[in-house]
Structure 1
Amino acid sequence: MGIIVNTHQEQAWNGYEGQHWADHHDRYDAVNAGFNAPLLAYVGPGDRVLDVGCGNGQLTRLAARRAGDGHAVGLDLSAPMLDRARSSAAEEGVDNVRFVQGDAQVHPLPDAGFDVVLSRFGVMFFADPVAAFGNLARALRPGGRLAFVCLDDLRDSDLGRAFGALAAHLPDPGTDYAGPAEPLSLADPATVRRVLTDAGLAEVECAPAEAPQLWGADAADAAGFLAGWGPVRHQFDRVDPATVVRARAALTDTLRAHERPDGVRLRGTAWLVTARRPG
């Protein structure tokens, strides 16, 4: 791994958070796979694709297949998730893909080395988003396309209401999660347009996107999975066991309304952002 400037995220994704995602890769893919199709629509035969914050690499592998005689590169900070991504690629027989550990803000990507840059919820955590997107813009060929999904304002979503049930029993986290390197850092389209324009990208568009997200077999299973998710686990670590029990019970009750015969499904919402390198 080369130079790392986003040290806080590097520590998180190489600690508990990254290991949890790697260990439960199938469950996280069940949550987020509904957002693959609108991103893969930008990949064509022969394309050279970069997947930023690729995590366990599902989108990267799908992009590699779609690229045919092209190839895909997955870039991420997390060693545990990249190990999982490489293992999955080998198991699936995807041989036109490789995975690289690095910080997208400063990683020495090849100039004009990619036709398409994608990301599925992997670009919200940049400490310096203008620098990071500037680095990605440089890696695109002139006319190349950037496409990513990022979290929107969760308050009106099913997941936001589930978190609201938890929040009633937990202390104020002390952040609105909208600052740099936070999950909601790109939730405001005006911020997205400013950041990408300052990074040298053009034709920036933000469109709402929705997809069903499968969180568990039933409400109790989904609540248990969410309780192990890094941000929730961090909040649980700050309170006594009795409070955790009450919070989990409230979460389970909220999720029960979303139980279906095939599991707990929440309506996932995001921004689908596209831009182009001029030229």
Structure 2
Amino acid sequence: MNPAVRDTYGPADLGNNPVFAGGFINFGHWQAIDLDRPLDEADRIRSQQDLYRQVLRAAALPDEPEILEVGCGLGMGCALTLSECGRATVTGMDIHPEQLQRARDTHADLLRREPDRLRFVQGAAECMPVEGKGFDAVISVEAAQHFPDLRAFAEETSRVLRPGGRAAFASFFTVDGAPGRPGELAALLDTFANGLDIARPVQQLADALTGAGLAGVHVESIGRHVWPGWDRWLSRWWAPETWPRNFLRAYERGILDYYLVTAEQPR
């Protein structure tokens, strides 16, 4: 496991930071939230839920879908999926054992009530501990920026998707493959400097999905609905020119963007 991932999601317990109110650990989708007024915790939680809703809509789920979430963290998205997607069955997978234990503790009542609809398993995106062709959808929300091998992730996604199944991922990537992008981001953002986030072009993920045999790969920029709201929320704790505020700066400079990437397993 990447040491930065191990520490950030282990002893540091990122989900307990108030900047990630509600425990979803994502930057949020702020389109439905008025950014011209003071933001509160309810707005923040709504933004994170709405990012999951964007991904779930893009997954075009069938009735009673079986869903795998890669990088489930505290399992808040798994619980949201169960509550909003009919008779879905959800497997939340994460590489970090401490995160999985927190997920199991957080959702202990739900696991008792719905033992056949929710489970958590430990595994890496590049080597998923699940059977092949077992899922109608593979989703991932703001985790792919950590995955060391996007090609292996794409191949595993293809392996576990049923014919006609959909992949839907939301995360942030560089806008192109210019050689200087990693250095630019490392100079602006501590998470790229310390290796927690990996600077790669979104096309690398798209090409990996195509190479793994998935069809209809589509990349959509949703940064306009992510970065301004995220920056407004960060302003509660961080002054301009401090490194967390540089996410918006990197977006405005055309270095980094936030994307929704989808693909389908051919029938």
Can you list the C-alpha shifts for 1:225-247, whole angstroms capped at 9, x where unaligned? xxxxxxxxxxxxxxxxxxxxxxx
Instruction: Look up the SS of the partner of 1:61 in the other structure.
Output: helix
1:208 aligns with 2:221: yes
Matching residue of 1:234: none
1:188 aligns with 2:202: yes
Change (3 A) 1:214 1:199: same
- In the TM superposition, residue 144 of structure 1 has moved relative to its aligned partner by 0.3
Change (3 A) 1:61 1:222: farther
Distance 1:148 1:118 in 2: 6
Tell whether the 8 Å contact from 2:238 to 2:245 is kept in structure 1 after alignment: no
1:15 aligns with 2:7: yes
Amino acid in structure 1 at the alignment position of 2:198? P
Instruction: Look up the SS of the partner of 1:127 in the other structure.
Output: coil
1:199 aligns with 2:212: yes
Change (3 A) 1:38 1:250: closer
- In the TM superposition, residue 107 of structure 1 has moved relative to its aligned partner by 2.5
Matching residue of 2:263: 275
Task: Using the TM superposition, name which of 119-128 and 47-56 deviates more.
Answer: 119-128
Change (3 A) 1:20 1:215: farther
- In the TM superposition, residue 215 of structure 1 has moved relative to its aligned partner by 6.4
Matching residue of 2:27: 31
- In the TM superposition, residue 112 of structure 1 has moved relative to its aligned partner by 0.9
Amino acid in structure 2 at the alignment position of 1:102? G
Instruction: Look up the SS of the partner of 1:109 in the other structure.
Output: coil
Q: Larger Cα Rg: Structure 1 or Structure 2?
A: 1
Amino acid in structure 2 at the alignment position of 1:136? T
Partner of residue 64 from structure 1, selected from 76, 82, 88: 82
- In the TM superposition, residue 193 of structure 1 has moved relative to its aligned partner by 2.4
Tell whether the 8 Å contact from 1:22 to 1:84 is kept in structure 2 after alignment: no
Tell whether the 8 Å contact from 1:49 to 1:64 is kept in structure 2 after alignment: no
Distance 2:93 2:102 in 1: 13
Please list every run of 5 or more consecutive structure 2 residues that lacks an aligned counterpart in the other structure: 29-47, 177-183, 247-255
Amino acid in structure 2 at the alignment position of 1:130? R
Can you list the C-alpha shifts for 1:27-79, whole angstroms capped at 9, x where unaligned? 65473314212112123440000001111222222122233323101111112
Task: Using the TM superposition, name which of 114-123 and 73-82 deviates more.
Answer: 73-82
Write the mapping of 1:25-104 to structure 2, written as runs, cut at 5 A. 26=21, 29=25, 31-32=27-28, 33=48, 34-41=50-57, 42=59, 43-90=61-108, 95=114, 96-104=117-125
Instruction: Look up the SS of the partner of 2:145 in the other structure.
Output: coil
Change (3 A) 1:68 1:203: same
Give TM-score scaled by structure 2 length.
0.67
- In the TM superposition, residue 16 of structure 1 has moved relative to its aligned partner by 3.7
Distance 2:96 2:244 in 1: 34
Amino acid in structure 1 at the alignment position of 2:237? D
Tell me how many residue pairs correspond in the alignment: 221
Change (3 A) 1:127 1:45: same
Matching residue of 1:245: none
Change (3 A) 1:30 1:115: closer
Change (3 A) 1:276 1:90: same
Distance 2:145 2:234 in 1: 29
Distance 2:173 2:156 in 1: 24
Can you list the C-alpha shifts for 1:229-271, whole angstroms capped at 9, x where unaligned? xxxxxxxxxxxxxxxxxxxx8429969xxxxxxxxxxxx9511
Report % sequence identity. 26
Tell whether the 8 Å contact from 2:71 to 2:143 is kept in structure 1 after alignment: yes
Please list every run of 5 or more consecutive structure 1 residues that lacks an aligned counterpart in the other structure: 1-6, 156-162, 224-248, 256-267
Change (3 A) 1:21 1:218: closer
- In the TM superposition, residue 217 of structure 1 has moved relative to its aligned partner by 6.7
